[in-house]
Chains A and B, each alone.
Chain A
Amino acid sequence: MKTLIILLCVGLLMMIIVQIARVRELATSLRGEEEVEARRTNIVGGGLLFFMIAFLFLTAASALVYKNYFLGYGPHESASVGGAEIDSAFQATLVVTYIVFVLTHIFLFYYAFKYRYNKNRKAQFISHNNTIEIVWTVIPAITLSFLVIKGLDSWNRIMGDVDDDEIYTEIEATGFQFAWQMRYPGPDGQLGRKDFRLIQGANQLGQDWEDRKNLDDILLNDVYLAKGRQVRVRITAKDVLHDFYLPQFRVKMDAVPGLPTYFVFTPTKTTEEWREELSAYPEYQVPSPLDPEKQLWETINMELACAELCGIGHYSMKRNVFVLEPEEYDAFMEEKAKEAFYFTSIRGSDADPWQDELFPREIEARTEAFNTQLDEALASEDPSDNTFALEHLQFATGSAELTDLSKYQIADVVTKMEEDPYLNIDLAGHTDAQGDPESNMLLSEQRAETVYNEIVNAGIDPSRVTYTGYGQTRPIETNDTPEGRQANRRIEITVNSTAPAAEEETVEQEL
């Protein structure tokens, strides 16, 4: 009903306008066409002149009001080296075009006003003027040459790829419907290979784990950059076109499926410095939407957006950008390298091609864990704490042959015994309750002996090591579940170190 009334009103209004317009036209012929036309010509001419003044005033005034949106002005200064050149090209063009804009509009409307119809005047017959035409062809040509040369000079510097001998960090941005995934090279400084066919499960980038460069790559949602360090962003897309757009850095480049693109730039200010700059402007001194206690400039972040239509979620592909001091950045990345994606999500899964190998970080972690366990055992008052399982010693099924990877734990034991000449150990082999108890007893003893042999072969005095087999007689877990049985199959070590207090001091002095 309401809609109907509105429609009727609109219809009525239109009819009224049409009637008024009709009456005006009729009045013209009644009052004498020439006189009315002359008056109307003056009104329209004045209108054009007034429009020109109002238009030029309002465009200038609004530009002043919104001056902080102009590139390179106030809070809208670029945060990258190349971006400053873009801003300067923008400003040069702005000056030139504004002058042309004002002059041409003055001429256009003023002449229309000045040469409005007057029945007593005749138009001048001016069909052309070669001199003036050459002048106004040459002047734009010269001005444009200046702008083109300035622009292209910057363009080739900004868009050039890195040379081999340049120092830069390469990171990778991958766009997909509807988010970005950032990848950082990790300690090796290199991004690993990827292939869209390998995308599966957790491996959403299709990283090829056969490529060792992938193993330390760090996956993060947000963009982290180091101030003053050149960064080359490799830009890729999984599904459709996206565009890697960092408005604060004047960085923009399409992400194209099947065709990696790049953008090289150098951030010039940290997020903190940038926020500090914004704090001077009233529009950033309003309460922050994130934290009402704070002002906008304290919580605002630089952002990564998508600038190529990619589907219905195109408007939501936001990530934050954080620029850190180089030292902060290094510390941050070192911290994040510990949680490299491969080790948190791929290691040990079916997709892991390196199951038969230990990586240095893992060997170190195991050594550290063993040393801690050993130290705790020796420090404990309670003698029952002196025994713990060597969980990384593994045997081939049903045999006393140690797996390849067990050598690291043997080495840990040997190292410790070499360091501490008073450390004596007792090895105990245990099995689960599956199969014949007697052969289990034999197997456990053989396995303990294997370990004993390895340690002695490494140069440890045999008198410091003893071994026993207990078969299935001393389970520590139920034998009804696979996990329980797994825990029961073990080599235990019992340690004791009876060093006289005086001699310990001597050792320390020698060190």
Chain B
Amino acid sequence: MANIAIADPITQDDILIKEFGYEDHFHEHHHGDKYQSNFISHYIFSMDHKMIAKQFLITGMIWAIIGGAMSLVFRLQLGFPEESLAWLKPVLGKWIQVAPETGIGTLAPDFYYALVTMHGTILVFFVLTAGLSGTFSNLLIPLMVGARDMASPLLNMLSYWFFFLSGMIMFSSLFLSTGPFAGGWVAYPPLSALPQAMDGSGAGMTLWTISLTFFVVSVLLGGINYVTTVLNMRTKGMSMWRLPLPIWAFFVTAIIGLLSFPVLVSAFFLLICDRSLGTSFYLSEIYIGGAALDHVGGSPILYQHLFWFLGHPEVYIIILPAMGIVSEVLSVHARKPIFGYKAMVYSILAIAFLSFIVWAHHMFMSGVNPFISNFFVIFTLIIAIPSAVKVFNWIATIYGGNMRFNPASLFGIGFVSMFISGGLTGIFLGNSTIDIQLHDTYFVVAHFHIVMGVAAFFGMYAGVYHWFPKMYGRFMNNTLGKLHFWGTLIGAYCVFWPMHYIGMAGVPRRYYRFDNFETFSHFTELNQFITIAAFVTFAFQLLIVINFFYSIWYGKKVTEKNPYKANTLEWTTPINAGHGNWPGKLPTVQRWAYDYGKDGKEYMPQIQPISADESKAH
């Protein structure tokens, strides 16, 4: 690998690194190259952070396609409940019940609920946690802080393989005869604890808990690594206040994950005890299946507290990396410093802190004492302030810039739009009074899909388009990328905007059909519109998949190390960076990451020393 790097033309950056770089004698020890010298150790059990990032990304993409396709099936049920789904029988088998007389195939309600549950689990954990945070933390942390690799490449590799194992277990649960778990991605007991309550709560739930436990192992191994790498392996001169914003975001995300995911495991542990050992942590006074159970004294609400103690920070685990990526992408392509760097960092920290004390806003209507909700309302709406600051800062970053429009920056702009639209509806839901009516309606579905689903995807897409050249040494196709952007922006709003109206009218989520209720049954047209929009939007997502794999082999080759004229360290590595990232010395950092357009110079890389005549302020 190293000899490719030598073939690159010598640039100003190379000279700077040679002059000011830090000699860590990395390349005098060759054990590093040894452990990825053959196919298996290079592509499969790789310990190189860049390869692991690609593994996370591609696995995440596969899961996104599976999870997205699931949503299409249940959208068909919601939009066109009378249409025959018999054509899906070859794929879904017994879950499509074909009436012998008419030949009309209907989706079994069991499987409808299984699809909804799996869609949520897969998208939240496998795509937007592992696929987003896993990919970009791995790719960017060592490159941007100037490290040879992660603090522990071995743990990093294990982190991916635990994720892989977790995914395999979840995937296998799809083929159980009783079906995968179907009690909603939040898995509230007693529904999730009692196989009598639902078929999916039997073996499906067992595999679900095992899978997610392995997933948590993966997140923790990754998180420890990210935190350690950011704290200990920054190159000379890279103080915390010089870190690019994505790194701040990944760093704080990892800390949130380390503090909250273990709580999820303890929630699962107690749930497993209730399921298998006859304990009563969550179960009390239950009569089901014609028998009164022995469980007395437990509380289902305890599970909800434990679950949302992870669950709420989890949404910031999803959105913070996207915010970090977008901050960087917008700044680079606007050719302007990110506006209010310190405010951005402080708002990340504030959001992270607040994310731990707002969990019960998911539980206003769950039977907790209404008095305690007062505090959670206040903390929840305080989060709107750092969020608003971030939005204003992104807009101010665009203001007065010289904005290049490419798929990455467009998705960055789209992200801000989505984050505004989805964030504002959070002000309704975070206010417990309004939540009385809107709780568990389609308004909530619209809110969280826009603010943490679509927005996080936009951040992820911005990152993929922006750093693809760093990953594969080639560009993705811009035309396909822009087409993908417009299709996704318009499509996603068409899918989720109408859901607000359905939700205001009071229609509850997780309904298999609406025609039992007069109040909920007159939204057929909107539901059909949403379903059609979902299909179109999904089709547009295939463009990035095609573009991605096509460009890996046939994309336009990157010819210069720093195609975007960006300041951060990853663009000082060779186009196809080998193990250790920098062929010679490690670069040292002389300035912050956002000196764009300063003193009339278009950009000043972080490795460029501050010259004597440079203006002080930044």
Is A70 an interface residue when CB atoms closer than 8 A count as contact?
yes
Residues of A within 8 A of B617 (CB): 127
In the complex, the answer to whether A147 meets B417 with C-beta atoms within 8 Å is no
In the complex, the answer to whether A123 meets B486 with C-beta atoms within 8 Å is no
Is A100 an interface residue when CB atoms closer than 8 A count as contact?
yes
Is A148 an interface residue when CB atoms closer than 8 A count as contact?
yes
Is B231 an interface residue when CB atoms closer than 8 A count as contact?
no
Nearest chain B CB to A49's CB is how many angstroms away? 12
Residue in B510, B512, B596 whose CB lies within 8 Å of A125: B596
Residue in B297, B385, B396, B486 whose CB lies within 8 Å of A137: B385
In the complex, the answer to whether A124 meets B395 with C-beta atoms within 8 Å is no
Is B366 an interface residue when CB atoms closer than 8 A count as contact?
yes
**A41-B405, A127-B618 given as contacts; is B399 within 8 A of A111 (CB)?**
yes
Is A121 an interface residue when CB atoms closer than 8 A count as contact?
yes
In the complex, the answer to whether B546 meets A14 with C-beta atoms within 8 Å is yes
Residues of B within 8 A of A256 (CB): 299-301, 366-367
Residues of B within 8 A of A132 (CB): 396
Residues of A within 8 A of B286 (CB): 196, 238-240, 257-258
In the complex, the answer to whether B367 meets A312 with C-beta atoms within 8 Å is no
Is A359 an interface residue when CB atoms closer than 8 A count as contact?
no
Of A90, A100, A117, the most chain B CB neighbours within 10 A belong to A117
In the complex, the answer to whether B341 meets A18 with C-beta atoms within 8 Å is no
In the complex, the answer to whether B440 meets A104 with C-beta atoms within 8 Å is no
Listed stretches B29-37, B67-75, B187-195; interface member: B187-195
**A117-B402, A303-B519 given as contacts; is B493 within 8 A of A55 (CB)?**
yes
In the complex, the answer to whether B298 meets A258 with C-beta atoms within 8 Å is yes
**A152-B377, A252-B365 given as contacts; is B404 within 8 A of A41 (CB)?**
yes
Nearest chain B CB to A116's CB is how many angstroms away? 5
Listed stretches B255-263, B581-589, B597-605; interface member: B597-605
Nearest chain B CB to A42's CB is how many angstroms away? 9
In the complex, the answer to whether B113 meets A115 with C-beta atoms within 8 Å is no
Residues of B within 8 A of A59 (CB): 497
Taking residues whose C-beta sits less than 8 angstroms from the other chain, chain A's interface range is: 35 or more
Is A316 an interface residue when CB atoms closer than 8 A count as contact?
yes
Q: Which residue of A has the minimal Cβ distance to B490? A: A51
Interface digits, B474-513 against A, CB 8 Å rule (1 contact, 0 not)? 0001111011001001100100011001101110101111
In the complex, the answer to whether B382 meets A144 with C-beta atoms within 8 Å is yes
Interface digits, B41-60 against A, CB 8 Å rule (1 contact, 0 not)? 00000000000000000000
Residues of A within 8 A of B594 (CB): 127
In the complex, the answer to whether B433 meets A151 with C-beta atoms within 8 Å is yes
In the complex, the answer to whether A124 meets B378 with C-beta atoms within 8 Å is no
Listed stretches A153-161, A387-395, A466-474; interface member: A153-161
In the complex, the answer to whether A24 meets B479 with C-beta atoms within 8 Å is yes
In the complex, the answer to whether B437 meets A252 with C-beta atoms within 8 Å is yes
Residues of B within 8 A of A117 (CB): 402-405
CA distance A312 to B197 in the complex (A): 9
In the complex, the answer to whether B478 meets A25 with C-beta atoms within 8 Å is yes
In the complex, the answer to whether A44 meets B405 with C-beta atoms within 8 Å is yes
In the complex, the answer to whether B285 meets A121 with C-beta atoms within 8 Å is no
**A69-B501, A122-B600 given as contacts; is B436 within 8 A of A86 (CB)?**
yes
- Tally the A-B contacts, defined by beta carbons under 8 Å: 349
In the complex, the answer to whether A127 meets B341 with C-beta atoms within 8 Å is yes
Is B237 an interface residue when CB atoms closer than 8 A count as contact?
no
Residues of A within 8 A of B283 (CB): 257-258
**A140-B384, A254-B366, A259-B299 given as contacts; is B480 within 8 A of A111 (CB)?**
no
Nearest chain A CB to B72's CB is how many angstroms away? 14
Q: Is the interface of A mostly helix, strand, loop or mixed?
A: helix
Nearest chain A CB to B462's CB is how many angstroms away? 14
Interface digits, B425-447 against A, CB 8 Å rule (1 contact, 0 not)? 10110011110110111000000
**A62-B498, A305-B508 given as contacts; is B401 within 8 A of A90 (CB)?**
no
Interface digits, A136-174 against B, CB 8 Å rule (1 contact, 0 not)? 110011001001100110111011100000000000000
In the complex, the answer to whether B194 meets A125 with C-beta atoms within 8 Å is no
**A62-B501, A124-B400, A314-B510 given as contacts; is B546 within 8 A of A158 (CB)?**
no
Residues of A within 8 A of B420 (CB): 100-101, 104-105, 108
CA distance A463 to B184 in the complex (A): 82
CA distance A452 to B297 in the complex (A): 59
CA distance A121 to B401 in the complex (A): 9
Residues of A within 8 A of B198 (CB): 311-312
Nearest chain B CB to A19's CB is how many angstroms away? 11
Q: Which of A118-133 contact B (CB under 8 A)?
A: 118, 121-129, 132-133
In the complex, the answer to whether A125 meets B597 with C-beta atoms within 8 Å is yes
Is A109 an interface residue when CB atoms closer than 8 A count as contact?
yes
Is A57 an interface residue when CB atoms closer than 8 A count as contact?
no
Residue in B113, B377, B597 whose CB lies within 8 Å of A148: B377
Residues of B within 8 A of A300 (CB): 518
Is A307 an interface residue when CB atoms closer than 8 A count as contact?
yes
In the complex, the answer to whether B489 meets A89 with C-beta atoms within 8 Å is no
Is B1 an interface residue when CB atoms closer than 8 A count as contact?
no
CA distance A115 to B498 in the complex (A): 32
Interface digits, A361-374 against B, CB 8 Å rule (1 contact, 0 not)? 00000000000000
Is B351 an interface residue when CB atoms closer than 8 A count as contact?
no
Nearest chain B CB to A439's CB is how many angstroms away? 50
Residue in B301, B381, B436, B596 whose CB lies within 8 Å of A250: B436
CA distance A176 to B394 in the complex (A): 49
Nearest chain B CB to A111's CB is how many angstroms away? 5
In the complex, the answer to whether A123 meets B284 with C-beta atoms within 8 Å is no
Is A187 an interface residue when CB atoms closer than 8 A count as contact?
no
CA distance A488 to B593 in the complex (A): 106
In the complex, the answer to whether A93 meets B434 with C-beta atoms within 8 Å is yes
Is A22 an interface residue when CB atoms closer than 8 A count as contact?
yes
CA distance A238 to B285 in the complex (A): 7
Listed stretches B12-20, B205-213, B329-337; interface member: B329-337
Residues of A within 8 A of B596 (CB): 123, 125
Is B343 an interface residue when CB atoms closer than 8 A count as contact?
yes
Is B168 an interface residue when CB atoms closer than 8 A count as contact?
no
Residues of B within 8 A of A158 (CB): 433, 436
Given contacts A59-B497, A256-B301, 14 further A-B contacts (CB under 8 A): A18-B547, A55-B493, A85-B433, A100-B420, A111-B395, A115-B398, A127-B337, A152-B377, A159-B370, A243-B440, A245-B508, A311-B198, A312-B182, A318-B517
Which 6 A/B pairs are nearest by Cβ-Cβ distance? A258-B284, A247-B506, A159-B370, A124-B400, A258-B285, A315-B511
Give A residues with C-beta under 8 Å from B: 3, 14, 17-18, 20-22, 24-25, 40-41, 44-45, 47-48, 51, 55, 59, 62-63, 66, 69-71, 76, 83, 85-86, 89-90, 93-94, 96-97, 100-101, 104-105, 107-109, 111-112, 115-118, 121-129, 132-133, 136-137, 140-141, 144, 147-148, 151-152, 154-156, 158-160, 176-177, 196-197, 199, 206, 238-241, 243, 245, 247-248, 250-254, 256-259, 261, 283, 289, 296, 300-303, 305-316, 318
